[in-house]
Amino acid sequence: MRPPDSHPSRRAFLGATGGVAAAGLTAGCEAHSAPSDKHGATASPAAPVPATGRHQAGITLPQPAQPNLLAVVADVRDGVAVGPLLAELGRSVGTLTSGTDARLLGLPPGDLTVTIGVGPRLVRTVDPSLPGAADLPPFPRERITPQARGGDLLIQICAGDALVVPIVATALLDQAGDRLRERWRQSGGRGPNVPVAKGLSAPRNLLGFVDGIVGPHTTADQQRHLWLAGPAPVAGGTLAVLRRMELQLPRFAALSVTEQEAVMGRRRADGAPLSGGTIASDPELGAKTPDGRYLVPADAHVRRANANVVGAGLMLRRSYSIAEPAAGLLFASFQNDLRTFTSTLTHMGSSDALLQFTTTTASATFLMLPGFDRQNPLGSTLFG
């Protein structure tokens, strides 16, 4: 059983999950259950995503990302052996994603992925010099309680079937029992996917704009910007940043479409940069109007967060829209250098027009563990 001081309760969570799913329909999210054909028959569940391999699933795979997510952030209680706990969770991830676990209650897992990361405190117990040992610094426009900052363990559960997500969360947390103390959790959904390039799409968010267009989407870019090449204990992993943000939707919605596009630096209808081209085009940040004004305003989000302007690497972003505790976004970025995120947000903080509509209410960073298999359990390279 989970400890009595965990929160929220499973009953509260199940209610919240239903609320998010219902709210997602009004927010333009995809259908959160298996689609039906024109005769009313339920379509086959999505193809399974292998849990084992060099990298954990749920980061670059599947593409596009599943429409439903639950992120659970917890602490490992004092005296708990981290290695055996992770190995045990990894074995359960294998049985749950393969559909051989009775705790699924007969539901097919479909494209279920479970991705697990460890926080800086646990990494420092192994080696303070390893990637993932550094905490995130505080940033402007934060309203974060101590309970919602940091954490030892991230369990990210994603699936096409909304019913699978809470069932898997319950199975994993019950298995961990009193070895974990939950800090916070957040459910989210992704909106309809918009084609960006061959084999690549991105969803719309609660602001109505396509989210996650730029990133390390090719294998070469992922090796350069996403995956950790070493040291050996972390090779094949990556660094995650998780931030929950409230959005001031009424203020943003009160702007004209032209004003909204100036905040973002892209057209709302098709995602193309204001400098021209298509959704896949790089913004031409030097392009100006005949009277000398930048086509992409100086404080536009795509300019202030641009990797070349910041002088940082690329982040792989998987953002989810949320309805509770307030309308907003659960922002997740993956990168092989934490400075990619911290430098970008520092640069944005000085004059990014988008930030005036956001308040961050939870924040953490995690080393997303390297991949695993039967011979090499989850976490064994670090805690074996």
The verdict on residue 165 lying in a domain is yes
Average pLDDT over residues 107-113: 98
Average pLDDT over residues 334-363: 97
Domains: count for the chain: 1
pLDDT of residue 155: 99
Per-residue confidence band for 206, with pLDDT thresholds at 50, 70 and 90: very high
Per-residue confidence band for 72, with pLDDT thresholds at 50, 70 and 90: very high
Average pLDDT over residues 137-152: 97
- Full residue range of the structural domain in which residue 292 is found: 10-31+49-383
The verdict on residue 91 lying in a domain is yes
Say how far apart CA 211 and CA 177 lie, in whole Å: 36
**Over 90: is that where the pLDDT of 25 sits?**
no
**Over 80: is that where the pLDDT of 76 sits?**
yes
Average pLDDT over residues 254-271: 98
pLDDT of residue 43: 52
Average pLDDT over residues 294-316: 97
| Amino acid residing at 300 | A
The verdict on residue 39 lying in a domain is no
The verdict on residue 367 lying in a domain is yes
Of the listed ranges 24-33, 52-61, 324-333, the least confidently predicted one is: 24-33
Which 8-state DSSP code applies to residue 204?
Answer: B
**Over 90: is that where the pLDDT of 38 sits?**
no
Residue 215 or residue 38, greater confidence: 215
Contact 155, 112 (CB under 8 A): no
**Over 50: is that where the pLDDT of 175 sits?**
yes
The verdict on residue 366 lying in a domain is yes
Say how far apart CA 307 and CA 345 lie, in whole Å: 11
pLDDT of residue 238: 99
**Over 70: is that where the pLDDT of 113 sits?**
yes
Per-residue confidence band for 211, with pLDDT thresholds at 50, 70 and 90: very high
Average pLDDT over residues 88-115: 98
Report the number of secondary-structure helices (H) and strands (E) in the chain.
Answer: 11, 11
Average pLDDT over residues 167-176: 98
The verdict on residue 1 lying in a domain is no
Q: Name the pairing type of β-strands 68-76 and 153-159.
A: antiparallel
Of the listed ranges 3-17, 178-192, 357-371, the least confidently predicted one is: 3-17
With the C-alpha atoms ordered 372, 374, 378, 379, is the resulting torsion angle positive or negative? negative
The verdict on residue 278 lying in a domain is yes
Per-residue confidence band for 191, with pLDDT thresholds at 50, 70 and 90: confident
- At residue 263, φ and ψ (nearest 5 deg) are -65, -45
pLDDT of residue 44: 59
pLDDT of residue 20: 35
pLDDT of residue 90: 98
**Over 80: is that where the pLDDT of 156 sits?**
yes
pLDDT of residue 89: 98
**Mean pLDDT over all residues of the chain?**
90
- Residue 369's nearest CA partner among 73, 123, 63 is 123
The verdict on residue 43 lying in a domain is no
**Over 90: is that where the pLDDT of 151 sits?**
yes
Average pLDDT over residues 356-370: 98
pLDDT of residue 164: 98
pLDDT of residue 212: 92
Average pLDDT over residues 288-303: 97
Residue 224, exposed/middle/buried by CB under 10 A (0-12, 13-18, 19+)? middle
